[in-house]
Amino acid sequence: MASVRADPLDILRLRTSEKWTSYPPDVLPLFVAEMDYPLAPEVSRAIIERVQASDTGYVGRAGALAPAFADFAERTWQWRVDPEQVTTTTDVSVAIVEVLRVLIAPGDGVVITPPVYPPFFDLVPEAGGVVVEVPLIDVNAGYSLDLDGIERAFAAGARAMLLCNPHNPLGLMHSRETLLALSALADRYGAVVVSDEIHGPLAHDPAGFTPYLSVSVSAAEHGVGVTSASKAFNLAGVKCAIIVTAGERMRALTATMPEEVAFRTSILGLHASTAAFVHGGEWLAGALDAITQNGDLLTELLAEYLPDVGYRPPTASYLAWLDFRALGWGDDPAERILSDARVALNSGPTFGTQGRGFARLNLACSPEVLTDAITRIAAAR
């Protein structure tokens, strides 16, 4: 298996996505979660074939994507998914909002666990809920869910939890034991869990990732999974996400979503995602190899140039959560890094108040770009 290689910068700067149009050319963009790798050939071919066939109309149903995802889930995580319980929509954010709308009543509390993907703070109120923050616990062994805090939130009336699994921005895979304990709490208090698992296919060790719906019978009855090929295969722009249920209660509730939710799926995204799950395994393995090598490189670069910056290597995805607090660069070090080093990182405080003094860096780039970024930041001290 060969690592996937990032495109050179002169090719990347021809892209028109947010990553490559938000800043001037002297800025290295390592913020938004897009990969610098070329698409898997099978995915490109699937999109091109649909365009050549003028097959760009509306999506009627999940079609071949449902069994393709089910096969991928069983092959990768030994999780048996019923294709009849797989539906699609535009993207995971839309899936979260639409699923929450049918699971909660207006004004219900929804637990989130910062530092966490910034849109979570907005998706909950968009769905009619009220954000209830239960921050992760940060101990020497690493971050983890605050199960006692989640129980207090459920006991106080929160009716749902929006779980990030694996957890963005930390690249943290919650253990089966932790998820089992969470499912017991949700069952005890009559809460529902919506699990955002978009980073699941990017687990560095696939055996370490546990889909929430697979942990217990109760999780299957009170949980809904939302995921996509978009993060793992760099397909955000072709708009296709998956909603998965595993029990009759959630199947019945999600079936009440408006028909328009499924119609919003892009037919190009549907075919690209199907090709990714069926044929993209070798490419994904090569991408993960490149990402983990860059994670090791980042450890070395920080030790050499920025030894006071804290970094715990992720176990999933391609996002590095960097702790700049020892440098005294304020609540939002990404501001200084952009102005003085001309490197664009994600602002830590957007992930919650727990992100003050932190920034998120994208590892899905070339080793040369990563090295340039860290040496630039070191020179800005």
Read off the CATH number of the domain in which 242 is found: 3.40.640.10
Residue that finishes a domain, picked among 221, 246, 279: 279
| 306 and 259 together in one domain | no
Q: Looking at the structure, tell me whether residues 215 and 88 fall in a common domain.
A: yes
CATH code for the domain in which residue 340 is found: 3.90.1150.10
Domain shared by 367 and 255, yes or no:
no
Domain membership of residue 116 (yes or no) is yes
**Residues 230-269 pLDDT 10s:** 999 999 999 999 999 999 999 999 999 999 999 999 999 9
145 in any annotated domain? yes
Whether 116 and 196 share a structural domain: yes
Q: What is the DSSP letter of 369?
A: H
Co-location of 29 and 112 in the same domain: no
In a domain? residue 161 = yes
**Structural domain contains residue 254:** yes
272 and 288 inside one domain:
no
Query: Chain-wide mean pLDDT for the chain?
Result: 97
| Region class of 203: left (phi > 0), else alpha (psi between -120 and 50), else beta | beta
User: Are both 273 and 242 inside the same structural domain?
Assistant: yes
204 & 306 share domain: no
Locate all alpha helices (DSSP H) within the chain, ordered by sequence: 9-12, 18-21, 41-52, 65-77, 92-103, 120-126, 147-155, 176-189, 217-222, 230-233, 248-254, 259-263, 267-279, 281-305, 333-336, 367-379
Q: Is residue 4 part of a domain?
A: no
More confident residue, 93 or 61: 93
Domain containing 84: what range? 45-279
Q: What is the pLDDT of residue 61?
A: 84
Considering the domain boundaries, does residue 197 fall inside one? yes
On whether residue 1 sits in a domain, the answer given is no
Whether 73 and 206 map to the same domain: the answer is yes
Give the confidence band of 1 by pLDDT, cuts at 50, 70, 90: low
Phi, psi torsion values for 91, nearest 5 degrees:
-155, 175
Distance CA 368, CA 124 (A): 39
| Statement to judge: residues 274 and 291 lie in one domain | no
pLDDT digits (tens, 9 = 90+) for 331-348: 999 999 999 999 999 999
Structurally, the chain folds into a number of domains equal to 2
Task: Say yes or no: 61 and 198 in one domain.
Answer: yes
Are 138 and 162 contained in the same domain? yes
* Domain's final residue, options 225, 258, 279: 279
Model confidence over 159-185: pLDDT tens digits?
Answer: 999 999 999 999 999 999 999 999 999
Q: What is the pLDDT of residues 70-114, one digit of tens each?
A: 999 999 999 999 999 999 999 999 999 999 999 999 999 999 999
Mean local confidence (pLDDT), 207-229? 97
